[in-house]
Chain A
Amino acid sequence: KNQVEQSPQSLIILEGKNCTLQCNYTVSPFSNLRWYKQDTGRGPVSLTIMTFSENTKSNGRYTATLDADTKQSSLHITASQLSDSASYICVVSVSGGYNKLIFGAGTRLAVHP
Chain B
Amino acid sequence: DGGITQSPKYLFRKEGQNVTLSCEQNLNHDAMYWYRQDPGQGLRLIYYSQIVNDFQKGDIAEGYSVSREKKESFPLTVTSAQKNPTAFYLCASRTMHFDDQSQHFGDGTRLSIL
Q: Which residues of A contact B (CB under 8 A)?
A: 4, 9, 31-32, 34, 41-46, 49, 89, 93, 98-106
Q: Which residues of B contact A (CB under 8 A)?
A: 4, 6, 31, 40-45, 48, 50, 56, 90, 92, 94, 101-108, 110
Nearest opposing residue in chain A for B39, CB measure:
A105
B99 to chain A, nearest CB (A): 11
Tell me how many residue pairs across A and B have CB atoms closer than 8 Å: 49
Indicate if the CB atoms of B42 and A100 lie closer than 8 Å: no
| Majority-rule SS of B interface residues | strand
Indicate if the CB atoms of A42 and B42 lie closer than 8 Å: no
Nearest opposing residue in chain B for A6, CB measure:
B42
Indicate if the CB atoms of B42 and A4 lie closer than 8 Å: yes
B-chain residues with CB within 8 Å of residue A101 when the two chains form the complex: 43, 45, 103
Indicate if the CB atoms of B101 and A105 lie closer than 8 Å: no
A-chain residues with CB within 8 Å of residue B41 when the two chains form the complex: 105
A-chain residues with CB within 8 Å of residue B56 when the two chains form the complex: 98
Indicate if the CB atoms of B105 and A44 lie closer than 8 Å: yes
Indicate if the CB atoms of B101 and A99 lie closer than 8 Å: yes
Instruction: Say yes or no: A31-B101 contact (C-beta < 8 A), given A98-B48, A99-B31.
Output: yes
